[in-house]
Amino acid sequence: MTTDSGTGQRRPVKTVETAVGILELIKVRDGATLPELTDELDMAKSTVHRHLKTLENLDFVVKGDDGYRIGLRTLDFGIYARDQQSVFHEGKDRVEELADETGEKVWLITHERGRSVHLFSATGARSVRTPAREGNQGYLHQLAAGKAILASFSKERVRSIADEYGLPAETEATITDRDKLFDELASIRERGVAFNRGESIPKLNAVGAPITDSNGEAIAAISVSGPSNRVKGTYLTEELPERLLGVTNEIEINLSYAES
Amino acid sequence: MTTDSGTGQRRPVKTVETAVGILELIKVRDGATLPELTDELDMAKSTVHRHLKTLENLDFVVKGDDGYRIGLRTLDFGIYARDQQSVFHEGKDRVEELADETGEKVWLITHERGRSVHLFSATGARSVRTPAREGNQGYLHQLAAGKAILASFSKERVRSIADEYGLPAETEATITDRDKLFDELASIRERGVAFNRGESIPKLNAVGAPITDSNGEAIAAISVSGPSNRVKGTYLTEELPERLLGVTNEIEINLSYAES
DNA sequence: ATCAAAGTTCAAGTAATTCGAATAGACTTA
DNA sequence: TAAGTCTATTCGAATTACTTGAACTTTGAT
């Protein structure tokens, strides 16, 4: 028996889990036909079909020529959810400015249930292309911005997050050891910023700084990232952190007066 | 017995409809508590609770201090769905340029199942603030871009859309009469662009132009809108249409070579 | 410290999902 | 044109699991 981590519940509504499983599979496969879904999910054709028709009727999936795709009703919910985040409104323009000034890729990241969520990104003139997209969820310990968020949490909370999701490696440089992570978080608290040297993508470096609320707890973080042959040395350790902290500080002040 | 319109199905998965109903209600109410949802949905407290916990576990809702909110997992699906639209990739930068040049609000709109979906917007220096948000769905006949899309459809298809959703009015100027709509669509086909004079928002004018595929069917449309005291006369009827058509034409060409 | 409101659990009944097989439709190939 | 394949759709029967209501716990306010 595994530990009852997070919101794991005893009696979930399985039919809803099934429907979301179908949605997720369509997304992962970049579209799918009824037989494809039936095979992979190991369910009766008629059952999957009924789910698809229901989801289609709800505009969560659409049927095209080459099978079913994710419908744009999800965009309505997604954009709504992001718009609810006050840090998105305060941060959006600043993130774009930062990308213009530095020329690098800049991300605004938040956390939900111990995982990272990529809220918004801006692309500078020299930005690299990475697989990350807005809306993506991931592991906090693999990101500069994520580590900056973790550094604001209590040791107990970090431990519970590590218990729930583990510390899986994405590259050879990813921190997978708890003690190393705690050391790292301590040094982040000292410096005020977090660094990432190829821990999520090889040869990609980044700086991350937290956006904290009045209790000192991070509600989000911003990162600036670029290729390691350019983003290194004092540019990485001094110049970018200074700019970043200026931006996050500004956002924090605006947020403290914008709270409803 | 009502006409079997659209994808209306005989045996939907009610449990999924219930779950989406809960999601929708949380969204409409900007967050809700368990008793609030229970009252409004007229369901047992334990049932709603179980759904909420399931949705929370799936990251579709999150529980905050003041009740449940829409979770950011929806953003992952939504952004994914938008990224799947090739017209979004081709159109995004052009829409931003157009907003910079004109200073007005520019929208990229597509259609799904006979309804409009606001895919992307860019805001110019003098843009007005409207209630529309990315992801929003609406009626095609109420929008300049929407009418431009309808104008590319067969009369039969437009009729079937009107049958399914009706032609509800949003303002006093909204076209609610079928014959008037067909006349309007004919004149749009002649001019190549559609106009909107306060038909969705009072005192807001707009021009819309379709982005058509190789079959001459609109897959999307772009609109430029602004207050009627500024956006009028030949600026509205000549200058903006010319700029718009330049942009949509460019996108169409790019799309025709980008098709997978 | 007491009370009210919100959240959570459980067993039992019922309602709805799931299944499988059979049918209809669409598209390709001979 | 016709056969064949792949996909989609429908239906009745059976079992699964959703819904309910009441009881209990927790949380927060006066």
Query: What pLDDT is attached to residue B11?
Result: 87
C1’ C21 / CA A3, Å: 42
What does the block give as tokens for A131? 């697989």
- Express each pLDDT in A74-118 by its tens digit: 999 999 999 999 999 999 999 999 999 999 999 999 999 999 999
Nearest 5°: the CA angle A180, A183, A189 is 140
Which pLDDT does position A2 carry in this prediction?
A: 34
Which strands, in side-by-side order, build the sheet including A218-227? A137-139, A115-123, A105-112, A218-227, A204-212, A194-197
Question: Is the CB of A18 less than 7 A from some atom of nucleic acid strand C?
Answer: yes
Structure tokens belonging to residue A77: 């919910």
From edge to edge, which strands make up the β-sheet containing B218-227?
Answer: B137-139, B115-123, B105-112, B218-227, B204-212, B194-197
- Is strand D less than 7 A from the beta carbon of B20? no
Q: Please list the ranges in chain B whose pLDDT falls under 70.
A: 1-8, 259-260
A136 touches B at CB < 8 Å: yes
For chain A, say whether B36 makes contact (Cβ under 8 Å): no
Best of B7, B15, B16 to disrupt the A interface (most A CBs within 10 Å) is B16
Q: Who among residues 35-64 of A has its Cβ near strand C, under 7 Å?
A: 43-47, 50-51
A162 touches chain B (CB under 8 A): no
| Contact status, residue B98 vs residue B106, Cβ threshold 8 Å | yes
Q: Which residue is nearest to nucleotide C16 (CA to C1')?
A: B14
Nearest-angstrom CA–CA distance, A99 and A126: 9
Burial degree of A114 (CB within 10 A; 0-12, 13-18, 19+): buried
Tens of pLDDT along chain A (260 residues) come to 333 345 567 789 999 999 999 999 999 999 999 999 999 999 999 999 999 999 999 999 999 988 999 999 999 999 999 999 999 999 999 999 999 999 999 999 999 999 999 999 999 999 999 999 999 999 999 999 999 999 999 999 999 999 999 999 999 999 999 999 999 999 999 999 999 999 999 999 999 999 999 889 999 999 999 999 999 999 999 999 999 999 999 999 999 887 54
C-alpha A86/C-alpha A109 separation (Å) is 13
Q: Which residues of B touch A19 (CB under 8 A)?
A: 13, 16, 19
Rounded CA separation B220/A208 (Å): 38
Residue A70 CA: distances (Å) to CA of A76, B73, B140, B257 = 12, 14, 21, 24
Residue B117 touches chain A, beta carbons under 8 Å: yes
B79 CB inside 7 Å of strand D:
no
Distance CA A214, CA A91 (A): 17
Facing residues of B205 across strands?
B197, B226
What is the per-residue DSSP string for A56-117? HHTTSEEEETTEEEE-THHHHHHHHHHHT-HHHHHHHHHHHHHHHHH-SEEEEEEEETTEEE
**CATH numbers and ranges of domains, chain A:** 14-75 (1.10.10.10), 85-258 (3.30.450.40)
pLDDT, residue A3, reads 36
Give the separation between CA B108 and CA B22, rounded to whole angstroms.
Answer: 29
Give the helix/strand (H/E) hosting A204.
strand A204-212
Residues B36-42: contacts with CB within 8 Å, 24+ apart? Answer: B36/B67, B37/B68
CB distance B54 to A17 below 8 Å: yes
Give the distance from residue B80's alpha carbon to the nearest chain A alpha carbon, in angstroms: 8
**Cross-chain residue pair B20–A50, CB shorter than 8 Å:** no
Note the pLDDT of residue A167.
97
What's phi and psi for B14, nearest 5 deg? -65, -35
